[in-house]
Amino acid sequence: MSSAPGVNYLNEKSGLWSWLTTLDHKRIGIMYMISVLSFFAIGGAFAMLIRWELFGAGKNIVDAATYNQFMTFHGAIMTFMVIIPGVPAFLGNFFLPLMIGAKDVAFPRVNLLSWYCLMVGAAISFWSLFYHGADTGWTFYTPYSIQTDNGTTWLVAGAFVMGFSSILTGLNFIVTVHKLRAPGMTFFRMPLFIWGLYSTAVIQVLATPVLGITLLLLIAERTMNIGIFDPAMGGDPVLFQHFFWFYSHPAVYIMILPAMGIISELITCYSKKTIFGYRAIAWSSIGIAAVSFFVWGHHMFVSGQSEVAGIVFSFLTMLVGVPTAIKTFNWVATLYKGSIEFSAPMLFALGFIFLFTIGGVTGIMLAVTAVDVHFHDTYFVVAHFHYVMVGGTLMAITGGIYHWLPKMFGKMYNEGVARFSFVLIFIGFNVTFFPQFVLGAMGMPRRYYDYLPAFEPLNKVSSLGAWTIGVGFLFALYVVVDCILRGKKAPDNPWGAKTLEWQTSSPPPHENFTTQPVVTGGPYEYR
């Protein structure tokens, strides 16, 4: 069944209902895009408010209780609603089937269900606002999260439901990759983005249930006083931290692995060069995913866990550093003797390497037990994970969105404004978060509503940087909206890329390819 010319997945059916009931992975991808970008705007607004409150010592705009709500919602929204679904569920959904030459994912109905799980979960989370919100931080540490008297139960329940979205997407992707690859598409001919998504999917399926159980136990503790985490009833509050990080450390890789995959796509495409060390990058994704399950204790060096545990977790964490270093070196080596174009997506990819390298080396510092004792729960940690999550994942998502906009909507975006958004985001990012490393070294603890006068100058700088990032993302949003509404018609393969998604029309037809593609070589055959 092939579509008539001019008919594509966007115009094939119309009306809101056709979207809400669609089984097309591309349409579901676009629905994820709209949800994730909206959540990002909300989470970002909280970030702006946080930095406004921290602009000067003492009270600036709100009281301590409200500030704690801001930081809780910023963290919870950005992790559970933006970064976790951001790459796999949004970009992954759209491009995974296209890039392996499939018509759709293995279970289209489950795919739609996972979007509804995210939306219902998000709605439940926001419902907490009607019960005085939540003020536990996104980590929900017990026993504070048991005692605090507000809508925390709703926020936790929402995160629980959103977990199903993640599990279902992961399951879908694993089966799709195993079963639906085009003829000739062997595992080692898959684009590296697919390897990233595949490793992520494994983590999603194996780790998310643990989060689910932990959150359920927390809800039971809050509503029925079962006494598993509450020390007043003989429970162990530190046990919660073990459970929580057993998921949440691998979750860090749910956030970063597919982002790394995007970077491999961008680097090869905009330097017109085959990737250096394909197998090393592919295996390192699997390696990172495997080791990521055994490092959770590095969040707990000063929690009261045993000294031996601290040392073992420090050692294992060092091991994750190796495959991460391999990837970075391979990307740099790919540039060697390439033909490098400084288009907006490439700028984001290079920005990623820049920021991720800093995030990586500071991660090693934090993995060193004796040094982490000083840095733990200070702004050094805040700076570190923003370098990895924002400097890494968000840069990759933004670059990826620009890169794939012509494919998704069949329109070209405004290159000049897109580059300008990069400049603002990149500079703003460093101005925001670099000073936070210094603040952490000076000893400023995180989650502080107020701080000593000595910390004021750098906090001011940091706030100015944050607002610059905010403006940068407004420009990025403009680029996306402008592209969709007014962009010039895009050719099928504007960047001369080699992966399969570019071999079909822009935007693709409902069934992705009019004739079944057959694969005869690797993904990056730039010769």
Partner 1 sequence: MMWWLLMQSAQANTFMPPAATDIAERVNSLYGFLLWASFISCVLVIGGFIYFAFKYKRRSENDKTAYISHNNFLEFLWSFVPFLIFMAVFVWGWAIYSQMRTFPEDALEVHVQAQKWSWSFEYKNGRKSSGELLIPVNTPIKLVMTSSDVLHSFYVPAFRAKQDVVPGRYTALWFKPKYKGEYQIFCTEYCGEQHSGMLAKLKVVSREEFDDWLANDPYKGLAMEEVGQKIYTARCAICHHTNDQKLVGPGFGGLFGREETLQGGEKVMVDENYLRESIMNPNAKIVAGYPSGQMPTFAGQLSEQEITGVIEYIKTLK
Instruction: Kindly state the tokens that stand for 352.
Output: 């990623």
Region binding Cu ion by CB under 5 A among candidate stretches 66-74, 220-228, 246-254, 355-363:
246-254
Give the helix/strand (H/E) hosting 315. helix 307-335
How many beta carbons lie within 10 A of that of residue 104, not counting itself? 21
Determine the Cα–Cα distance for residues 389 and 83; give it in Å rounded to an integer: 8
Tell which positions 225-264 bind partner 1, by CB under 8 A.
231-232, 234, 236-238
Instruction: Give me the residue label for tokens 């927390």.
Output: 218
Q: Does 498 bind Cu ion (CB under 5 A)?
A: no
Phi, psi of 148 (to 5 degrees): -65, 140
CB of 122 to Cu ion, least distance (A): 25
Please report, for residues 169, 440, 450, the alpha-carbon distance to residue 58 in angstroms, rounded to integers and kept in the order given: 44, 19, 6
Q: Does 376 bind Cu ion (CB under 5 A)?
A: no
CB of 161 to partner 1, least distance (A): 25
Q: Does 314 bind partner 1 (CB under 8 A)?
A: yes
Q: Which residue's Cβ lies closest to Cu ion?
A: 249
Q: Which residues contact 156 (CB under 8 A, 6 or more apart)?
A: 140, 145, 215, 218, 219, 222
Residue 453 binds which entry of Cu ion, partner 1, none, with Cβ cut-offs from 5 to 8 Å by kind?
Answer: none
User: Minimal CA–CA distance to 66: which of 49, 78, 83, 79?
Assistant: 49
Residues in the chain: 527
Convert residues 129-168 into a mask of x (bound to partner 1 by CB under 8 A) and - (unbound): ------xxx---x-xx--xxx-------------------
Q: How many residues bind Cu ion (CB under 5 A)?
A: 1
Residue 442 binds which entry of partner 1, Cu ion, none, with Cβ cut-offs from 5 to 8 Å by kind?
Answer: partner 1
Query: How far is it between the farthest Cα atoms of the chain?
Result: 70
**DSSP characters over 371-422:** HHHHHTTBHHHHHHHHHHIIIIIIHHHHHHHHHHHHHHHSB---HHHHHHHH
Instruction: Give me the residue label for tokens 């639906």.
Output: 180
CB of 232 to partner 1, least distance (A): 7
For partner 1, give the closer residue by CB, 15 or 234.
234
Phi, psi of 306 (to 5 degrees): -70, 160
Question: Any idea what the Cα angle at residue 294 is, between residues 221 and 443, rounded to 5°?
Answer: 75
- Please identify which residue in 445, 464, 491, 493 interacts with partner 1, judged by CB under 8 A: 445
For partner 1, give the closer residue by CB, 41 or 461.
461
Convert residues 263-282 into a mask of x (bound to partner 1 by CB under 8 A) and - (unbound): --------xxxx-xxxxx--
CB of 298 to partner 1, least distance (A): 11
For partner 1, give the closer residue by CB, 372 or 501.
372
Residue 249 binds which entry of partner 1, Cu ion, none, with Cβ cut-offs from 5 to 8 Å by kind?
Answer: Cu ion
CB of 123 to partner 1, least distance (A): 26
For Cu ion, give the closer residue by CB, 25 or 386.
386
Instruction: Give me the residue label for tokens 């697919």.
Output: 194
Q: Does 447 bind partner 1 (CB under 8 A)?
A: yes
CB of 58 to partner 1, least distance (A): 11
Q: Does 451 bind partner 1 (CB under 8 A)?
A: yes
Bridge partners (DSSP) of residue 445 are 378
Q: Does 383 bind partner 1 (CB under 8 A)?
A: no
CB of 297 to Cu ion, least distance (A): 9
User: Minimal CA–CA distance to 400: which of 120, 96, 144, 129?
Assistant: 96
Q: Does 249 bind Cu ion (CB under 5 A)?
A: yes
Determine the Cα–Cα distance for residues 108 and 115; give it in Å rounded to an integer: 11
CB of 311 to partner 1, least distance (A): 5
Q: Does 456 bind partner 1 (CB under 8 A)?
A: no
CB of 252 to Cu ion, least distance (A): 5
Q: Does 311 bind partner 1 (CB under 8 A)?
A: yes
- Please identify which residue in 449, 495, 502, 513 interacts with partner 1, judged by CB under 8 A: 449
Tell which positions 487-516 bind partner 1, by CB under 8 A.
496
- Please identify which residue in 56, 209, 338, 491 interacts with partner 1, judged by CB under 8 A: 338
Handedness of CA 83, 85, 88, 92 (dihedral sign): negative
Tell which positions 22-81 bind partner 1, by CB under 8 A.
64-65, 68
CB of 20 to partner 1, least distance (A): 39
Tell which positions 170-229 bind partner 1, by CB under 8 A.
none
Question: Phi-psi bin for 63: left (phi > 0), alpha (psi -120 to 50), beta?
Answer: beta
Q: Which residues contact 416 (CB under 8 A, 6 or more apart)?
A: none
CB of 423 to partner 1, least distance (A): 15
For Cu ion, give the closer residue by CB, 27 or 249.
249
Instruction: Give me the residue label for tokens 């800093």.
Output: 358
Give the helix/strand (H/E) hosting 467. helix 456-486
Instruction: Kindly state the tokens that stand for 19.
Output: 């979207």
Where on the chain is the footprint of Cu ion (CB under 5 A)? 249
